[in-house]
Amino acid sequence: MTAPNQALPVPPADLPGTLGALRAAGHRYQTVKQELRHNLLARMRSGEDRFPGIVGYDDSVLPEVERALLAGHDMVLLGERGQGKTRLIRALVTLLDEWTPVLPGSVLNEHPLHPLTPASRALVAEAGDDLPIGWLHRSMRYGEKLATPDTSVGDLIGDVDPIRIAQGRTLGDPETIHFGLVPRTNRGIFAVNELPDLAERIQVALLNVLEERDIQVRGYQLRLPLDLFLVASANPEDYTNRGRIITPLKDRFGAEVRTHYPVDLELELALIRQEADLVAEVPEHVLEVLARFARAVRESPSVDPRSGVSARFAIAAAETVAAAALRRAGLLAGPAGSPAAGSASAAGDATVRPESPVARVGDAVSVTSTLRGKVEFESGEEGREIEVLAHLLRAATAETFRARLAGLDLSGFTALVAEGAMIETGELVSSAELLHQVGTVPGLAKALDRLGLGDAPTPEQAAAGVEFVLEGLHLTRRLGKDVTDSGRTVYGGRS
């Protein structure tokens, strides 16, 4: 896909400029499916990444996709929302040749050695080897349509152009046709997203495209043998209930591939790392909490399993947590929240180091309210959405705590509050203030090392580690916890 407002790629100067030069260079015409098969096999033999950016499908979905490509089958991808179906479809474009020859000005991207329309065939016959040719980049050989209810046959296939009729052409003239999205993607890949949402009478228009590889426009005696790879996406729930793919159309797809959510925690984490646009540092243990949280929401009996919980849920959660860290850093640097007002200044430090934005586990609390709209709950849970998400977040935090710090002696932290002392943290508590309260704690260095914060963490990273330990000790019933009216979290001994 070419990004919006991006300049179109410029063909290299050494590519042939005429039909004769193209023939002399030994170029051979290939259909799109032959081209995809050839390039896929070349990547297999070289060991090159065949589907860059696709995470978690190496042993399940991608082998099925590759078999469909090698067989030359059009395919439909079935899966719940947020499973990367569109990303996978768009990745297929990288398997096309980088540049392919076309007849200049052809709306059907006709190959100079395989013209389709009568006008193009006459042009090739007249000009011969002197015919100038153009080159089309693979990013321009992809078409996509979201199947909205207002989609018409004219949008997909084409219709009569009244302007050309007004110019004096007759209704029987093929030049009066305004071609739709499908024929304009000739010699490329065309995708229909959410195919079941397409009205059944409109789906009928795709029957000839998939089987006979041609199009019909109104009453025209016109047969254009299109060269296309057609791929569609659908939600399984829509596939059987709200909408459906008509039986003749299902029969014409050669392959039906089921997608899925990441099967294990590491793949969920890899997806978050790849996709999340983080405006602040988010330590690994916080990302792990969010990944476990997303998986817990997906598996919860309180959540409607038919709608699924998109991978975008975990990605948005990571971005929200990073934003909370950035907000804290911004507020603490302001005049009303000078950093470490209760700690560094008390130590007589005249110059206070600005707070760097590093996310803490406490920042994750904000996602329970901001992301509840991404989750479809069972009808019996109405009004309890935030409560359910908060419970699942605590469970994910406790699970991460046990996975990361199991067997580690953390008695130094419980000893801090054994004599009735309190440790305050929260959204607007600076790292210096938190570390000042904790001081030197036995076992802190080992805990930070287990959390992947290194031998020399910054104060902000150390504070993130300390807060995680305190929260984990609370969730495992070794520390008490209270939230003040001002929003601060107070950890102390269990009463």
Identity of the residue numbered 107: V
Residue 456 pLDDT: 86
Q: How does residue 176 score in pLDDT terms, banded at 50, 70 and 90? A: confident
Choose the weakest-confidence range: 112-126, 174-188, 339-353, 441-455: 339-353
Considering the chain, tell me which residue range(s) the CATH 3.40.50.300 domain(s) occupy: 31-96+141-258
Give yes or no for residue 288 having a pLDDT over 70: yes
Give yes or no for residue 174 having a pLDDT over 50: yes
Query: From residue 91, how far is each of 78, 142, 236, 395 by CA, in Å?
Result: 17, 10, 22, 36
Query: From residue 166, how far is each of 161, 162, 171 by CA, in Å?
Result: 9, 6, 10
Per residue in 419-451, pLDDT tens? 777 899 988 899 999 999 988 888 889 999 999
Identity of the residue numbered 73: H
Residue 145 pLDDT: 92
* 309 vs 376: CA distance, rounded Å: 8
Per residue in 111-126, pLDDT tens? 999 998 888 899 999 9
pTM of the model: 0.84
Per residue in 208-251, pLDDT tens? 888 777 777 766 666 778 899 999 999 876 555 456 888 898 89
Residue percentage of the chain with pLDDT more than 70 = 89
The mean pLDDT of 262-277, rounded to a whole number, is 93
Residue bearing tokens 């080897």: 129
Q: What is the mean pLDDT of the chain?
A: 87
* Range 269-300 burial, b when 16+ CB lie within 10 A, else e: bebbbebbebebbbbebbbbbbbbbbbbbbeb
Residue 348 pLDDT: 42
Which CATH topology does 31-96+141-258 take?
A: Rossmann fold (3.40.50)
Give yes or no for residue 3 having a pLDDT over 90: no
Mode of pairing for the β-strands spanning 488-492 and 480-483:
antiparallel
Give yes or no for residue 45 having a pLDDT over 90: yes
